[in-house]
Amino acid sequence: MIKIIKDNDLITVSGHSGMAEYGKDIVCASVSSIIYTTLNAIASFNSTYIDVKDDGSTMTIKIKEKDEIVLKLIANMLEMLKSVAKDYPKNLSVKENA
């Protein structure tokens, strides 16, 4: 299961969906597409607004600047991820603590 946790200014993404074999997993592809599209959009405004670390198994996204655009893009990203999680609850979990 992919677990996404937003806790204040930190978003953590970890795990694997297990929906299908590597390269054919639509949940993994959806999650990756949503997250990377959002991160690229934020970076197009100002790359210093966020700090992203990805070690291959866990990605952390630190929100460093609470700009209106950043907050809207992050909120949109989380809503899209929740929509995928609603359709695939065994493969994706999205939790917001604050």
Global confidence as pTM: 0.93
Sequential DSSP letters for the chain: -EEEEEETTEEEEES---SSSTT--HHHHHHHHHHHHHHHHHHHH-GGGEEEEE-SSEEEEEE----HHHHHHHHHHHHHHHHHHHH-TTTEEEEE--
Task: Catalogue all structural domains in the chain, each as residue range(s) with its CATH number.
Answer: 2-96 (3.30.70.1490)
Could you read off the pLDDT of 53-62 as tens digits, one per residue?
Answer: 999 899 999 9
User: Looking at residues 6-18, what average pLDDT do you find?
Assistant: 94
Could you read off the pLDDT of 46-91 as tens digits, one per residue?
Answer: 989 999 999 989 999 999 999 999 999 999 999 999 999 999 999 9
